[in-house]
Amino acid sequence: MIIEAIKKFLHGDVLTDETTLQKYSHDTSLFEIKPEAVVFPKDSSDIKGLVRFVRERRAIDSSEKIYLTPRSAGSDMTGGPLGESLVLDFTKYFNHILEIGDLLNSSGGESEGYALVEPGVFYRDFDRATREKDYFMPSYPASRELCAVGGMTANDAGGEKTLAYGKTHDYVMQLKVVLSDGEECVLKPLTKKELEEKMQSRNFEGETYRKMYDLLERNYDTVKAAKPRVSKNSAGYNLWDVWDRQTFDLTKLFVGSQGTLGIITEIKFRLVRPKKHSALLIIFLKDMASLAKVVLKVLTHKPESFESYDDHTLKIAVRYFTDMLKIMGARNVFSLALQFLPEFFMMLSGGVPKLILEAEFTGDSEEEIYKKARAAEKDLYKSGVKTRIAKDDREEQKYWTIRRESFNLLRHHVHGKQTAPFIDDIVVRPELLPEFLPKLNAIMNQYDLTYTIAGHIGNGNFHIIPLMNLKDQQSKKIILELSEKVYQLVIEFQGSIDGEHNDGLIRSPYLEKMFGKEVYKLFEETKQIFDPLNIFNPGKKVHSDLAYALAHLKRE
């Protein structure tokens, strides 16, 4: 009866066939949750109608299991876009790039760009369109060919360019969102005067501003002190960046909220000019002992990105190098395959490095970038570290492809086991790595696991992806034990359990452990202010249930 009632007012589509429901039961996490229906809203009036419908049902019976879970590309690794009720797919209709233009600086000259875009636009299409105007939005994750901008915004994505450019919240200028009263509003930075005017409104939006201002002002010092002391964080609600007693900006809160506070219908991004040239310095470490020293030395030369992957990842790339060639768009397979000869010889000789680091230097001239890369290489040479500078774009592409595609190669080729991202996004400050990494390795060595480690080494951000048989009851035990141990270690080092992938089903249960009871209660209060009837993606960020999550591990 619910589905039929929705169909009466919806302009878009509602599907309940088994094939569709199975497809939307998964993202790229280790969970499986079957929705009651998948809704493809066509426009903002559909979103508003759905919110009002669900709100009215919940107002009548708060125990009724009906709620809205937004979803874009489904590349999430946390179970964030999974739900038992109504999943809203934005990629079918909310997939338009509305406008790309120039911003003017204070002197009237062009400095940066902007784009108005709907949340269902795939980043690969968005990137192509912005680069035609000589702009780009640099916070893309490794899943740049798969993800959509709505998911990037909902997770506060950050990837290989975060070191120099920051995360998605640094590029969101404005949002259109539908709040829990079913009305669409615009969120953007407000001056004190604009905030006072907004708080005078007697509608739900005005009430939300009044309550959030009160929460942040009452707890100002507590909130500011709660900000994780690392360069990347997607854990919890980003309360600390909303109000600095000069500017009040709710976009900072909505970015990274995983669809738990309202539904985003339009995003205005700030765009930047890409650098014209790049040089890639590849660093081969035979052990972890010198890692922190190497990282800190390279960072003094200010690379635009600084990435890493381990020997397991390299071996996977060599094992499935024909797939790598396809990903790289090889036309001359023989000439491209020759590029993998050094890796083949390393494996045959047993000389595989423990860790491979990639430092990318960019600039507006080749002279500039190679000067930076050679200076960094010279600095490392004194320490006896093996390095090389990629000779051309094709060789650079090889190393980038290994870094970006290892997770997908694991997912598609390993039989009997699955990729299990549950400690996949930890962050500590780079200067703490000499003390942190041996302790992390000691924990990992307690378990007989095959896993890869890749990440954004310049930010101290590591992605650890084990392979596991989730049908084995022992897997649940390992997930619980290892999560507890690794997260406790990260917290002891004042890091974040979640740099960019967000919380979802897998990490939300640990947010109180990371932030403490006082701050966690502020997260709960924030959810209550925006979503008093709990209609938006429940069980994520707050009121999560680890037992529920583990009960929904993938069966296949």
Nearest to 90 by CA among 13, 184, 193, 192: 13
Structure tokens at 543: 């009121």
CB-CB contact of 305 with 349 (8 Å): no
For residues 109-139, one letter each, b for 16 or more C-beta atoms within 10 angstroms of the residue's C-beta and e for the rest, the string is eeeebbbbbbbbbbbeebbeebeeeebbbbb
Question: How high is the pLDDT of residue 267?
Answer: 98
> Is a pLDDT exceeding 70 seen at residue 157?
yes
Tell me the average pLDDT across 60-82: 95
Instruction: Give the DSSP per-residue string, 3-68.
Output: HHHHHHH-SSEEE--HHHHHHTT--SSSB----SEEEE--SHHHHHHHHHHHHHHHHH-TTS---E
Beta pairing class for 461-468 and 450-456? antiparallel
Q: How far apart are CA 413 and CA 320, in angstroms?
A: 9
Helix (H) or strand (E) holding 305: strand 305-310
Q: What is the pLDDT of residue 406?
A: 64
Share of the chain above pLDDT 90, in %: 75
pLDDT at 405: 67
Average pLDDT, the chain: 91
Question: Which tens digit of pLDDT belongs to each residue from 171-223?
Answer: 999 999 999 999 999 999 999 999 999 999 999 999 999 999 999 999 999 99
For the residues 22-34, what does the mean pLDDT come to? Answer: 96
Residue 404: its pLDDT value, please? 67
Task: Let me know: does 360 contact 278? Beta carbons within 8 Å.
Answer: yes
> Where residue 62 falls among pLDDT bands split at 50, 70, 90?
confident
Tokens of 433: 């790595």
pLDDT at 336: 54
Q: Distances in Å between the alpha carbon of 334 and those of 108, 322, 347?
A: 52, 11, 20
> Bigger pLDDT: 451 or 85?
85
What is the pLDDT, as a whole number, of residue 397?
77
Q: What is the pLDDT of residues 514-533, one digit of tens each?
A: 999 999 999 999 999 999 99
User: Cα separations (Å) of 304 from 163, 185, 204, 209, 433?
Assistant: 6, 36, 43, 37, 20
- Range of lowest pLDDT (190-194, 284-288, 402-406): 402-406
Give the pLDDT score at 335. 57
Q: 341 pLDDT band (50/70/90 cuts)?
A: low
With 60 as the cut, is the pLDDT of residue 454 above it?
A: yes
Could you identify the residue written with the tokens 């009040």? 248
Query: Counting every residue, how long is the chain?
Result: 556
**What does the pLDDT read at residue 361?**
96
pLDDT at 416 over 80: no
What confidence score (pLDDT) does residue 365 get?
94
- Nearest CA to 116 out of 100, 95, 139, 102 is that of 100
Tell whether the model's pLDDT for residue 325 goes beyond 80.
no
Six-digit token pair at 525? 């209060």
Q: How high is the pLDDT of residue 68?
A: 98
d(CA 76, CA 425): 12
Most confident residue range from 156-170, 284-298, 464-478:
156-170
The first and second tokens of residue 2, run together, are 């619910």
Q: Is residue 19 predicted with pLDDT exceeding 70?
A: yes
Cα separation, 445 vs 478, whole angstroms: 12
Q: Which residues, in sequence order, are CB contacts of 333 under 8 Å at separation 6+?
A: 325
pLDDT at 385 over 90: no
Please name the residue that has the structure tokens 């707890």: 219
Identity at 378, one-letter amino acid code: K
Which span out of 242-256, 310-324, 327-341 was modeled with the highest average pLDDT?
242-256
pLDDT number for residue 538: 97
Check residue 376 and give its pLDDT: 95
Mean pLDDT of 469-481: 91
DSSP state of 240: G
Closest CA to 391 of 282, 275, 276, 274: 282
Domains and CATH numbers, the chain: 2-93 (3.30.43.10), 97-191+222-271 (3.30.465.10), 276-413 (3.30.70.2190)
Decide which of 175 and 450 is more confident: 175
